Structure 1
């Protein structure tokens, strides 16, 4: 049946289903990371950005098309995470402009909205790069414009538009050599295709049902009850979805009841959504794997969160009592040790985040509201957080500077160069100079087989990265670290600092430092507990 117009009820379903489609496939998008390191987060960032858009849509009492689109735009703007999430929020912002004043949507309206989406996103990026989500969005818009006047069936129109987008996605490796070397297509572009397909499926009546509002409301009640006494019997809040299963929710609920309490188990059409508080999340997940595949796994340590909430509340109370001061610093980092380093360097607010967990624009705005400085300097410490930090800066009325630190060592170096007595411009200049004098090394492991820069990498290999280039590959953490440093250290360097991660013992870090001191006898070698996940060592060379 031909679909010539879309009304507001279908538009709302299209946004929700687009978010669900992406969420269902976010791990596929994550796996398209160019480097084979365990921090692919494009799919997660885009999914969380879309979920924020949907949250705003659901909380909006006005169900007009214009209001739905505006809610999607503002929600994605506030919830944007990572560069891909920020670009997605700009796509939705432009798309919503095309729906202003519309009571129904036809092909021409959609085509104009796609065009505005692409234009808005391109303008938001200082140096647009082809072979990315921007290319896919542009070719989708161009195809949409081409179809105006020749196509009046929205289903057929969207199918042809998506086909063009998929063709553009297939060609992204021909536009970006790093994609071709890694053997992947652009992750952001892939995420956009899932969003478009999800919207189309809702329009044709093929909605994905993986969550509902009643589940969320009951979940909130459970958490309130679990923490009201200040004592938590089962410490890990474990959530996941069992996909493609023939089991009924009641069967699985009975089966896992022995592992914990506060259970919610709901489902329909081969999908079961599970929430349980347990002390053994791994055992619960193993039981779930027996009956289907798992998606959207989330495990939170409630005891840790409960303790930190009390600490944060106390800290904020003290913060409110402080007089306004000239400077405040907001930094982003992961790992208790690294957080302590930033605290020692007088950072006012530390947002927990980084690789695999990029804070949203709203998270950064919230931090801005909690510091008192006349001048606020944000240190993202990750290239994938800089756009969100700049977006927060634009939305705030405070005097904010975003220093484009791309690594933890750069952020630490910038703070060490700060002088309270200097004026803002002088401080920024000194901090930027300090950043340029830092070489950052990272030691982690490969999550897949690949070939990059003539280096053959196998899954689980140890890899050493310096300033974005893979310098060393091997089977030993210590040997790869030594090889990386031999490639990176020069006669101008004086200090090597090893920030060892949560998977490294202190004695092992000290033994490595001794070996490095023998190799680089003219340099000082230091070890500091970082506690960061995923990366065995973060290395500062200065």
Structure 2
């Protein structure tokens, strides 16, 4: 598992520019690759520092670190995925095909429920497809905890994810118009292939990405044609489930891309990671402060910097 997250960090670092280039949904702000890379890096570093043979405990630690340092929609969804993926692995010291299928299924449910308005044709669809492929293959190997069964399940989950990435182009109008696949979906495919490679002692499959529409380092950055407005607000806050549901409802009324996921249980209820896109940060921050005492607050412009501002 430590090797998985390290391989995923390396892969996303190598591919971040191309992921940024095709990032046009939900906001054409050209940072999906960067956000995923930075969030996975936080998870990888936390995993390397953890000393436990328990796979669930290890990945839960990495998931909390990812959640606290999550960047953007894609990074937040990865953090939700990782925290949920860890749950069926609690107490396990070895990954099997059955545990893999259970972890992907749990992660699929939690990731879809974390968003107020989940949309097909995104990372969510790719996760759903990978979970379905793993479940079907694991069921064919019922009661078989061999490495062979695990290898078959890992490969099936990657192949189903790849087919789902290809489908994203036809599932979302903006992607269809730009003739590109979804950046977050490709990023998750890279993460999943890193798990396959790490678990089986194999190399990453760079050829998986051959032929994906728009995915070419020489291609112009598709997102440069957009001009997103507003800001992205993120924070961490301790709330009861009822107060969290109320805050989510109010944030839905103010903006979009609302993601709320529980990081860990605390005295007040749960520690939540909050993400929303809004035209103006002030009303959203006021709602958040009325709900509780937020920390790790970030407010990021969604609009791309002018050419003369690059690097500032």
* TM-score computed with the length of structure 1 as normaliser: 0.40
The question of whether the paired residues in 2 share the 8 Å contact of 1:34 and 1:184 is answered with no
- Aligned partner of 2:107 among 98, 113, 117: 117
> When the two structures are aligned, how many residues end up with a matched partner?
250
Return the offset for 1:403.
10
2: distance between equivalents of 1:171 and 1:31?
Answer: 19
* TM-score computed with the length of structure 2 as normaliser: 0.67
1:82 aligns with 2:72: yes
- Note the alpha carbon deviations across 1:411-448, whole angstroms, 9 max, x for none: 46x59xx9xxxxx69xxxxxxxxxxxxxxxx9869xxx
Return the offset for 1:67.
2.1
The question of whether the paired residues in 2 share the 8 Å contact of 1:82 and 1:385 is answered with no
Which residue in 2 is equivalent to 1:387? Answer: 259
Unaligned runs of 5+ in 1: 1-10, 209-292, 294-353, 367-378, 419-423, 426-441, 446-500, 504-532, 535-542
Report the structure number with the largest CA radius of gyration: 1
2:89 aligned counterpart, secondary structure: coil
- Aligned partner of 1:61 among 31, 41, 51: 51
2: distance between equivalents of 1:129 and 1:54?
Answer: 28
2: distance between equivalents of 1:403 and 1:172?
Answer: 23
Which residue in 1 is equivalent to 2:134? Answer: 144
Judging by fraction of residues, say which structure has more helix.
2
Return the offset for 1:111.
0.7
2: distance between equivalents of 1:81 and 1:444?
Answer: 16
Which residue in 1 is equivalent to 2:160? Answer: 164
Which residue in 1 is equivalent to 2:122? Answer: 132
Which residue in 2 is equivalent to 1:176? Answer: 172
2: distance between equivalents of 1:83 and 1:180?
Answer: 21
Which residue in 2 is equivalent to 1:255? Answer: none
Which residue in 2 is equivalent to 1:47? Answer: 37
Q: Which runs of 4+ in 1 moved over 4 A?
A: 382-386, 394-398, 402-405, 442-445
Which residue in 2 is equivalent to 1:201? Answer: 197
2: distance between equivalents of 1:191 and 1:45?
Answer: 10
Unaligned runs of 5+ in 2: 205-216, 218-229, 238-250, 292-301
- Note the alpha carbon deviations across 1:468-494, whole angstroms, 9 max, x for none: xxxxxxxxxxxxxxxxxxxxxxxxxxx
1:130 aligned counterpart, secondary structure: coil
Identify if the C-alpha distance between structure 1 residues 391 and 71 changes in structure 2 by more than 3 Å, giving closer, same or farther: closer
Return the offset for 1:386.
5.3
- Aligned partner of 2:9 among 1, 15, 19: 19
2: distance between equivalents of 1:403 and 1:202?
Answer: 31
Judging by fraction of residues, say which structure has more strand.
1
**Pairing 1:287-326 to 2, within 5 Å after superposition:** none
The question of whether the paired residues in 1 share the 8 Å contact of 2:73 and 2:275 is answered with no
